[in-house]
Copies of this chain bind each other. A is one copy, B any other.
C-alpha cells in the first residue's frame, strides 16, 4: 500500500523563493493528511500535483503564523470548488478557539462541515488503518508534535508448515489468521503462533515542528521510518536555538540516533542557510541517514516486511 510523504514547504519562519513555509502532505490510499499549513500551501500542492479536495484531516503544530496561515486560503478554494466532505482540523487544545476565529474571518461561505478540534498531548486521532499520536513540543506557545502510525498487519502464514500439520486450505486458515486456535480431527490443537509469524508493524512517520529537544519528543520519534525534524539552526547557533526553543541540525540528528529512526529529514530551515549543506554535513556525522528537506521532495515509505 502506498505511503508517500510530500514536503510542500521547508523554510522556517520566513518564506523564500526557494523554500515555502512549513507544510507536509502524507498520502495513503488516495487520502491526504496535511501536517501544518503555512502561507502558500495551496499553490505548493498544485505544484506537487496534489488536490486539496483529497485532504481529510489537517494537523497544526502551533499558531505561529508560518505554520497555519495557509489554511483559510485552502478553505476558500475548497468552498469555491463546492466541497461537501467534512474537513477535520486539529491543533493544540489551548488554541482551538483562536484557530476557529481565524477561519471565520474571510468573507466566504463554507460549503462543507469544518470541524476544528483541540488535542491534548498524548491524545490520538484515529483514521482507517492508522492513528496519529501526539506529544507536547517545547516551544513558547502551545505546540504539539505528531506521529502517523499505521496499524500492524498479521504476520506471514507458513503455508507449508500449516499443511504438514494437517490443516486444509480454506476457512480453517482464515480462522487461524483471525487469531483462533483450530482442533484437528486427530485431536491436536494448532495455535495461530504455530504457523503465523510475528505481526508486521505499520509504518511510522513523525513530524516534529518547532521545538527544543525533550524526552517526550524522543519517545514519540521512536523507531520511525521517517523523522521530519525542526532544524532551524546549525550547531554554531545552538545558543540562539535555546533562546527561541528551536533545534539545531545536530540536535535533530541526536534525536534520530537515540530514537532509532530509519531516515531523518532536516526541516524548518532558517532562510539564512541559502546553502543548507552545512546543516547536512553537521547532522550526517551523528546520523548518516540524513537528508535536507527540499520543497516538493517526495519520499515513498516502502511497506514493512
Q: Which residues of A contact B (CB under 8 A)?
A: 13-17, 20-21, 39-40, 42-43, 46-47, 62-66, 68-70, 72-73, 75-77, 80, 98, 101-102, 105-108, 140-141
Contact = CB atoms under 8 A, between A and B. Distances in A.
Nearest to A42: B15
A253 B107 CA distance: 28
Given A40-B43, A69-B106, A102-B102, 11 more contacts: A14-B42, A16-B46, A17-B46, A20-B43, A21-B73, A39-B40, A40-B40, A64-B108, A65-B72, A65-B108, A101-B101
A71 B102 CA distance: 13
Nearest to A21: B73
B107 A63 contact: yes
B76 A46 contact: no
Contacts of A65: 72-73, 75-76, 106-108
Contacts of A66: 73, 76
Contacts of A77: 13-14
Copies of this chain per assembly: 2
A17 B50 CA distance: 12
Contact of A141 (B64, B80, B107): B107
Contacts of A70: 39
27 contacts: A13-B77, A13-B80, A14-B42, A14-B80, A15-B42, A15-B73, A17-B43, A17-B47, A21-B73, A39-B39, A39-B40, A39-B42, A39-B69, A39-B70, A39-B73, A40-B40, A64-B76, A64-B106, A64-B108, A65-B72, A65-B107, A65-B108, A68-B106, A69-B69, A69-B76, A98-B105, A101-B105
A40 B21 CA distance: 10
Contacts of A46: 15-17
Report the 6 A-B pairs with minimum CB-CB distance, sorted nearest first. Answer: A65-B106, A65-B76, A15-B43, A107-B141, A102-B105, A39-B73
Contacts of A64: 76, 106-108
